[in-house]
Structure 1
Amino acid sequence: MYESLEDLRSKYETIFGNTNHFNPEVNEILSRGFAFQYDTDENEADVLFLGMNPSFVSGQQKESYEWTREWTRGKDYFTPFFNIEEELKEEYNVNIKWTHYDLFAFRETKQASIKDLLMKNEEGRSFLFQQLEVLKERLLQTQPKVIVASNALIRTFLGMNRHRDKKGNEVGVWLGDWIKFDFDKTIGTYVVNQPSELKGTKIFFTSMLSGQRALDLGTRERLVWHIAEILK
């Protein structure tokens, strides 16, 4: 378990420092460095917004860095998180502390790169899984009451799409042996039942909260109401 920002940064440095065996296209992505959010009070978070990986826009500086919740204020991708916080307070009298982090720390905008360049070969899968091991530590460190997973592919990496292929081999396990969920018909969402440290955490699997594929207004309003009901 990491004990400080420096310790967490060191874990990513180790993972990203052993990537010379990738093809040029992947190496170009990895040459941009890694990035992640870190809040000193993340272990007090009521809500964790879980994303896929930080984006990279052409012309941006290639560097590794971390950011804080306050640094994200006013930035398009993070605006919905602040809006949900404000709506919970104003409309439901529910005060929350939230944080955000991604499954992966490499900087790339196109999600297809994950599927096409990393998930289809052993080296790429190993690289992804090493970062998922860090994710496990971060989940145990934060122990949020609610997780909002705003990307459909997150379900895959949490093992919810595991199945057997035509040869009978189990595929798509990823973190499925470590974390398990049940759908609670009383509250209408998934609840973690394993590992024990996260037992009872509620998780919402949603579409993106910003951008062209963002939740429609009605679905978003229901999400805010649902979070409020759980946290009251």
Structure 2
Amino acid sequence: MKGHGDHQGGHRVEEVAGPFQARHLQGKAYLEQFHRAWQTRDVFTLWGIVQLLRFYPGRLPDLEMMFCREDLPVLPKRDNQQPEGVAPPAMFHYCGHQSAFDIPFPDWSFWGWPEVNIKPWETSLKDIQREAAKIMWRKRNPNAFWKGNPWVSPKRSELMKCQPTKDMDWHARLYTVNWDHEHSSGYKKSRLEDQCTHRYKIYVEGRAWSVSEKYILACDAEAKY
């Protein structure tokens, strides 16, 4: 890409997306922030690039990569039309959409999410698979399970209406996580490896695609979308 001052639809990239820039120069990785990041998404994304450098020493060219740290795609195609032969703006993102130019990149939680006590993916996967293997599928709770923050999207608010009542049981067992309480109590009730006790697990988006999907699929339960 040319540089972080490139204009997209009349705005500078950093003004549109509030991104950060990861730069690889002569075997070293650098991070430049244009705005304060929410939690540590930028730090763990850079850690992923550092791991890449360690896996392939001396094989990566010098480059600059712009990352959006927000949830929703930020470069809609309708607002960023390019002349024929001109490449669209390059913005890496944790999610994409067919209507946007954002380039999908593995989300930060693959390398860890300490604010909610999530370990790097390799460790989380082993823990989840170990606990899931303790209960055969047919011996699990026959209902569908979901646990998370229901306040981040209308879809999740709608899902919470499927709680069982005295007149109707939708066979969904839905639980709200209060992260402030979890933090103060040592995350005892939000461990991902303890959430593989049901035959079915529900996936529902938050503001956009949710990083929870990979943990749901790792439980070896039937995923409900």
TM norm. shorter chain > 0.5 = no
TM-score normalised by the chain length of structure 1 = 0.28
Higher relative contact order (CA 8 A, sep 6+): 1
TM-score normalised by the chain length of structure 2 = 0.28
Which structure is higher in helix share?
Answer: 1
